[in-house]
């Protein structure tokens, strides 16, 4: 009786999963578009410049090198290292995502280039292509996927899910701060990277686990 009840719950969750993924992606995408429009019109002027002024107050010689090293995690070198570490682990636990991860991250790179070119917003240091933050976008996609996979594998262990969120979310926060500290991005650039990265990740999960999944991969249904 208890087994049948759990199976019924799993069926309901599985059927509602595509709707939740697509709804979350849509909301994140709408949020990103709104941010892009407001950022292009300098609607975040006070917030961006206020944050920049605060960051300058905490500037110090001792933090320069650590921030320059930390920010590499969201660059090509750091992302390649992260994938090199993640793919072998995923190959033992989830081969579908082990194969999909490099494609997913390559798509994130193409997406950030298109988004930056479409917006054409300068960085605080006047370098081009500031919005959205590519570092934040890429890390949200990578670590967001890790959080999702841990949550799915540990569905009944809330402590594991909470720990995964903290461990995976911390690098995103630290790298995002490093982008502000190094004067590479405005605060609104980071928000844009977060929103479009979330939308892209949720769409990718929907595509890989709902659209591309074969019927043989689905748990058997009871009559």
Please count the structural domains in the chain: 1
Q: Residue 16: which pLDDT band, with cuts at 50, 70 and 90?
A: low
- Is 105 within the bounds of a domain? yes
Output 6 or 128, whichever has higher pLDDT.
Answer: 128
pLDDT recorded at residue 79: 96
- Is 10 within the bounds of a domain? yes
pLDDT recorded at residue 151: 83
Q: Which of 61-70, 129-138, 152-161 has the lowest mean pLDDT?
A: 152-161
**20-51 as b/e, with b when 16 or more CB fall inside 10 Å?**
ebeebbeebbebbeebbeebeeeebeeebeeb
CB 193 within 8 A of CB 36: no
CA distance linking residue 74 with residue 194, whole number of Å = 13
Q: Which of 143-157, 159-173, 190-204 ranks highest by mean pLDDT? A: 190-204
Output 81 or 45, whichever has higher pLDDT.
Answer: 81
Look up the domain containing 27 and give its range.
2-217
pLDDT recorded at residue 161: 76
> Nearest-5° angle of CA 155, CA 218, CA 5?
55
pLDDT recorded at residue 157: 72
- Is 223 within the bounds of a domain? no
Mean pLDDT of 202-215: 82
Q: Which of 15-24, 85-94, 144-153, 189-198 has the lowest mean pLDDT?
A: 15-24
Q: If we measure between CA atoms, which residue out of 199, 206, 178, 200 comes closest to residue 190? A: 178
Q: For residue 75, give the 3-state DSSP assignment.
A: coil
- Is 161 within the bounds of a domain? yes
Q: Which helix (H) or strand (E) holds 181?
A: helix 158-181
- Is 44 within the bounds of a domain? yes
- Is 37 within the bounds of a domain? yes
Q: Which tokens go with 173? A: 């926060």
- Is 76 within the bounds of a domain? yes
Q: What are phi and psi of 44, to 5 degrees?
A: -100, 20
- Is 60 within the bounds of a domain? yes
**Global confidence as pTM:** 0.86
CA distance linking residue 27 with residue 152, whole number of Å = 22
CA distance linking residue 110 with residue 114, whole number of Å = 6
- Count other C-beta atoms under 10 Å from residue 8's C-beta: 11
């Amino acid at each position: 009786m208890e087994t049948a009840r759990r199976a019924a719950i799993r069926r309901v969750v599985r059927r509602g999963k595509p709707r939740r993924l697509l709804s979350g992606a849509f909301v994140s995408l709408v949020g990103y578009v709104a941010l892009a429009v407001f950022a292009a019109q300098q609607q975040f002027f006070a917030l961006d410049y206020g944050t920049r002024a605060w960051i300058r107050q905490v500037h110090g010689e001792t933090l320069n090198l650590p921030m320059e090293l930390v920010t590499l995690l969201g660059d090509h070198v750091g992302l390649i290292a992260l994938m090199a570490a993640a793919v072998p682990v995923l190959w033992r636990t989830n081969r579908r995502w082990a194969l999909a991860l490099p494609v997913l991250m390559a798509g994130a790179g193409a997406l950030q280039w298109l988004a930056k070119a479409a917006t054409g917003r300068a960085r605080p240091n006047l370098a081009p292509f500031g919005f959205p933050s590519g570092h934040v976008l890429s890390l949200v996609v990578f670590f967001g996927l890790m959080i999702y996979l841990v949550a799915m594998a540990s569905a009944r262990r809330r402590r594991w899910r909470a720990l995964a969120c903290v461990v995976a979310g911390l690098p995103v926060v630290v790298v995002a701060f490093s982008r502000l500290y190094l004067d590479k991005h405005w605060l609104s650039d980071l928000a844009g990277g977060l929103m479009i990265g979330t939308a892209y990740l949720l769409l990718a999960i929907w595509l890989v686990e709902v659209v591309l999944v074969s019927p043989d991969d689905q748990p058997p249904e009871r009559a």
